[in-house]
Amino acid sequence: MKTKILTKIILPCLILLSIVAAGVHFIAPVVVQKKMMGEFNQELFSVKKGFELHPNLFVADMHADTLLWEREFFSKNDYGHVDLPRMMEGNVALQIFTIVTKAPKSMNIHKTDGESMDRITALSIVQLWPISSWFSLFSRAIHQISKLKNWQSRSKDNMMIIKTKRDLKDFIELRSFRKRMVGAIIGLEGAHAIEGSIKKMEILFNEGLRVMGLTHFFDNKVAGSAHGEDKGGLTDFGKKVVKRANELGIIFDVSHLSEKASFELLELSTRPVINTHTGLRGKCKNDRNLSDELAKAIAAKGGIIGIGFWDIATCGTTTRAIVDTIKYATDLVGVDHIALGSDFDGTIVSPIDISKMETITSELAHAGYSDEDIAKIMGGNVRDFFLKYLP
């Protein structure tokens, strides 16, 4: 009798729980990603020059958080921003795939408490990442790198992870006859993922990490964030991280880094730094964007600044707003230091996904940029930078 009663009660409960869990796993992340798609301006297709030029460009984007999501990478999706078919359609040659390991619930561009509830913990559980990643930021980084390696192995030679100058040279040669091939560089959004251990940074480097932001939205053991509570400079441990990263050949990304820490990094680093995704405060004033002074300092040291595709970066919601920000940036620091830094799949709303990159080319042509300058902005600057500064 007890067995029958338990069967009647427990079995339906388990079935219900399974249904709820499946719904959370499959539906909740998709709902979030669908909210990232903005309105696409179809009128841009009337600008023909850019669309004729685009297929011949080396297109590069400096920041996408695609590794955060369990979306099918080999299918063309109608939500989110990036997958392999859409990268091919957009003629994207090179993408920095950035690893996100922590995002506090209180996250905002003004002041973020790094100890508030973490959204990535919930996402890692809902998406059934390895159990170790539920409790370790470092494990989350390893998991996302493993995901990218899996994509490479399944890509039928259509994707190549790039770790060295030699890799990039080989990729460029291969792409001369494999026109839709995609190159991937691994980035990290915040050195909190090394969990206070230079050894763990070395492990990530050996796994393929080549671009590293020292902070995300909150202060950590390495440095102060532009959006943190203290907004301080580099810590003593942070200075050791900078020294060792320079020795390894890791390139620093000052996105989200405090102004104080950014200038200290520029002084301490033996190599140029980049900002993978940003706006300019002189064009769009808020705490997320680079000051003109810092932008000039990055350029003066030979760095690259990637212009973002979302409203806080551009003070607009259209591709015209993106190009207006690019125009401000090139006037400020010169064409040789400006690139694209979409922040695709970073829970931002973008007017385009990666398949529509030709609209940026078209807008640049409409704005009066020469073919040579368009080629630099759309990816040539990024290609040349990594040819020089990768290990």
* pLDDT tens figures, 271-296: 999 999 999 999 999 999 999 999 99
Question: Residue 311 has what pLDDT?
Answer: 96
Residues 199-231 pLDDT 10s: 999 999 999 999 999 999 999 999 999 999 999
333 vs 51 pLDDT, higher one: 333
Question: Residue 16 has what pLDDT?
Answer: 37
Question: Residue 162 has what pLDDT?
Answer: 98
The 10 Å CB-count burial string (b at 16+, else e) for 25-57 is eeeebeeebeebbbeebeebeebeebbebbeeb
The torsion angles phi and psi of 251, rounded to 5 degrees, stand at -95, 130
- The CATH architecture annotation of domain 35-389 reads Alpha-Beta Barrel (3.20)
Cα distance between residue 322 and residue 343, in whole Å: 12
Secondary structure (DSSP) of 326-364: HHHHHHHH-GGGEEE---BTSS--BSS-GGGTHHHHHHH
183: helix, strand or coil: strand
pLDDT at 300 over 90: yes
Q: CA nearest 102: which of 192, 37, 16?
A: 192
The torsion angles phi and psi of 176, rounded to 5 degrees, stand at -65, -25
Question: Residue 51 has what pLDDT?
Answer: 74
Q: Average the pLDDT over each of 29-38, 63-72, 128-137 and give the range with the smallest value.
A: 29-38
Q: Could you state, in order of their start, the residue ranges of all structural domains in the chain? A: 35-389
What is the identity of the amino acid at 274? I
Residues 61-89 pLDDT 10s: 999 999 999 999 999 999 999 999 999 99
**Rounded mean pLDDT of 362-386?**
96
